[in-house]
Structure 1
Amino acid sequence: MTTAKPGVRPAVPHFSSGPCAKRPGWNLQNLKDAPLGRSHRAKVGKAKLKRAIDLTREILGVPADYRIGIVPASDTGAVEMAMWSLLGARPVTMLAWESFGEGWVTDVEKQLKLKDVTVLKSPYGELPDLSKVDCDTDVVFTWNGTTSGVRVPNADWIAADRKGLTICDATSAAFAQKLDFPKLDVVTFSWQKAMGGEAAHGMLILSPRAVERLDTYKPAWPLPKIFRMTKGGKINEGIFIGETINTPSMLCVEDYIDALEWAQSIGGLAKLQARADANAKVLTDWVARTPWIENLSANPAAASNTSVCLKLVDADLARLPADQQIAFVKKMEQLLDKEGAAYEIANHRDAPASLRIWCGCTVEKGDVEALTPWLDWAFAEAKASLAKAA
């Protein structure tokens, strides 16, 4: 099996699922106004942090009565802050269908050691039965499974009159998928995903219901400083106007603002979502005409438009043990990396053998189109190597 090497490479071969591709036209000079060497608590620093929060609200359409804060340790830090500060007041339902959801289950069961916990799990490629979720419990879930390419299609399964809180890890969904904020009490994400920002900073969005919980409930366990969102028994409002708990990188803040201003300039959220949808459709169309590949998502309606995960269904590969299938995917990744055609597109270390290709809004459609012939070439080359080794 041979396929000619394509003549055109993606102009930007960055298809990593995090950190993700920078926005089109990005240049380091765009960050020249970053107040480097200045305190984040100075007037200029506070103004930049507030600008980042205000633009986030504007572009995502966050309701006016929801708080938005910049927090430490990326999306992971934001989710941990929410779980350690809010859980324990009610029974909890945990949803998991990939590695990050599994991680939140581990934290709740083995670190917080909550007793009244229901866990609804599904294997990679599938969603749990959302009709079984009791919304009178607190519910923790990922909107988009970054390592499985499976997302919740909508929030219709969340009761409007729920008694519990919904804590949503939206890090691969924000800016690319429609988040139903009235159904979400906590929303978290990181700059390094959909907007192609730099790592280490997280965003935490709280509904009035979540704020009420903070004001009326004190966890039974001690909270590390970077998790504390209350002061004197009430929510620390400073966090949500840019008075961060720890010192942020003002260079990273400037980069996030640059990405948000780019989003604003091209037409806002609808345009961002349309770009991600168009990118994912290029892969969907290619999969439809390619016999050796399928979407890992069993349900097309639940297939991600950002972290698109594709399983190899070639009959010869299917006979191989799992570790050899993963080695085959790694071989494809190495071939593409060497050619400068695509970087970091192998499955997450916890996922089954698959390709994972980021199609978020900072990726250009033309680059995804240029990628698909290279995927065919890399598959053929890796298959030929496999045959020689047999």
Structure 2
Amino acid sequence: MTQPTVRPERPFFSSGPCSKRPGWSWSGLENALLGRSHRSGPGKARLKAVIDETRDILGIPEDYKIGIVPASDTGAVEMALWSMLGARGVDMLAWESFGKGWITDVQKQLKLDDVRVFEADYGALPDLTQVDTDRDVVFTWNGTTSGVKVPNGDWIASDRKGLTICDATSAVFAMELPWDKLDVTTWSWQKVLGGEGAHGMIVLSPRAVERLENYTPAWPLPKIFRMTKGGKLIDGIFTGATINTPSMMCVEDVLDALKWVKNIGGLKGLIDRSTKNLQVVENWVANRDWVDFLCADKATRSNTSICVKLSDACPLTGDARANAPKQISKLLDEEGVAFDINGYRDAPAGLRLWGGATVEPTDMEALMPWLDWAYEQISQQNQ
């Protein structure tokens, strides 16, 4: 096969940190509030602007609280787990590495007694009908390392007694989320928005606020996890007075991304772009016999973390088969065509292509022939 002549203009297909928005440049950060306190009037205004723009774009209900918190999505999830769990039994769902990580924290660190675990292999979902939402429920909306998403929130009862705690870091800004079914929702800027790392966001429903104000965990909470004082929510966290010092350069960067979102049609524009990226890969896979999706069910297939594997029809065997995705990734990295597309280290061997809205569908289209070319090179080496 002849090496393709058309290259992706931007070879950034990493699943996190993800590609910056199209047209991004350092000039977008010229007005960053550097050398000023984040607690100054202008500093708080910038942080509040992130909260307000996020609410507007995502359609988050007015009575939900939105906060900027430390330590990326991980920090936001840990805040929820350590601050709210223990009041009821909890159902833990996992079908990829990050969900399994939350199970480890709850069982081995918090050491809760009443924990039910529902797991599925990479590429599938556990049986959601077994979940009892009168208990607390912890789950990822989209499995970033498996390419499997929850199709909807129909399995969550509207009159539930427990809280739903949702890690939505690779779903929010790319998929419709039913806010009325979610009590705690978390994400980070470096995923779908293509922002910089280290900052997380947390959204609390009125029911989650009620839990925080009426339940005290049996264990001590470090300062960066504390969302209440004297039995009342620390409201400043949700108006721009962050728990610790944020990077005002990162704040300016995410404001730049949010402005771009509005210019391309808001949430609908983001979802449309991401869906097109998935369609490009689906069309390519449908016409190849050597590759298949890790997630066979189209209804639960992620449009952000798009995971593919070698198919059963692929003639490669043994070590050649196991190492092929890593070799393909390395070859395309060396060619400057696609960076960071090898599957996650804990996932089955395969490739992971980020399809979020900051990736141009034309770049995804340009990548497909290169995947064919790289596969042929690896196949010839292993004959």
Do the structures match in fold with TM over 0.5?
yes
- SS of alignment partner, residue 247 of structure 1: coil
Q: What is the letter of the counterpart of residue 310 of structure 2?
A: L
Q: Displacement of 1:386 after TM fit?
A: 1.5
Would you say the 8 A contact 1:85–1:214 is kept in 2?
Answer: yes
Q: Deviations over 1:78-119 (max 9, x none)?
A: 000000000000000000000000000000000000000000
Give runs of aligned pairs for residues 39-188 of structure 1, distance below 5 A: 39-188=37-186
Q: What is the letter of the counterpart of residue 374 of structure 2?
A: A
Q: What is the letter of the counterpart of residue 268 of structure 1?
A: G
TM-score by length of 2: 0.99
Q: What is the letter of the counterpart of residue 139 of structure 1?
A: V
C-alpha distance in 1 between matches for 2:125 and 2:356: 21
Kindly indicate whether residue 317 of structure 2 is the aligned counterpart of residue 328 of structure 1: no
- SS of alignment partner, residue 164 of structure 1: coil
In the alignment, which residue of structure 1 is the partner of 2:269?
271
Q: CA RMSD in A?
A: 0.9
Q: Displacement of 1:316 after TM fit?
A: 5.4
Q: Displacement of 1:320 after TM fit?
A: 1.5
- SS of alignment partner, residue 140 of structure 1: strand
Give runs of aligned pairs for residues 164-313 of structure 1, distance below 5 A: 164-313=162-311
Q: Deviations over 1:52-98 (max 9, x none)?
A: 00000011110000000000000000000000000000000000000
In the alignment, which residue of structure 2 is the partner of 1:385?
381
Gaps of 5+ in 2: none
Q: Quick one: structure 1 residues 316 and 23, their matched pair in 2 at CA, closer, same or farther if it must change by over 3 Å?
A: closer
Q: What is the letter of the counterpart of residue 14 of structure 1?
A: F
Gaps of 5+ in 1: none
C-alpha distance in 1 between matches for 2:157 and 2:312: 42
C-alpha distance in 2 between matches for 1:228 and 1:36: 27
- SS of alignment partner, residue 69 of structure 1: strand
Q: Displacement of 1:246 after TM fit?
A: 0.5
Q: Displacement of 1:327 after TM fit?
A: 2.2
C-alpha distance in 1 between matches for 2:39 and 2:15: 32
- SS of alignment partner, residue 116 of structure 2: strand
C-alpha distance in 2 between matches for 1:194 and 1:200: 15
TM-score by length of 1: 0.97
Identity of aligned residues (%): 63
Q: Deviations over 1:130-175 (max 9, x none)?
A: 0000000000000000000000000000000000000000000000
In the alignment, which residue of structure 2 is the partner of 1:366?
362
C-alpha distance in 1 between matches for 2:378 and 2:254: 38
**Could you tell me which of 336, 339, 358 is aligned with 1:340?**
336
Q: Displacement of 1:4 after TM fit?
A: 1.2
C-alpha distance in 2 between matches for 1:201 and 1:252: 8
Q: What is the letter of the counterpart of residue 329 of structure 1?
A: P
Would you say the 8 A contact 1:108–1:114 is kept in 2?
Answer: yes
Q: Displacement of 1:325 after TM fit?
A: 3.7
Q: Displacement of 1:313 after TM fit?
A: 1.2
Q: Displacement of 1:319 after TM fit?
A: 3.3
Q: Displacement of 1:265 after TM fit?
A: 1.2
Would you say the 8 A contact 1:35–1:45 is kept in 2?
Answer: yes
Q: Deviations over 1:26-73 (max 9, x none)?
A: 011111110101110011110100000000001111000000000000
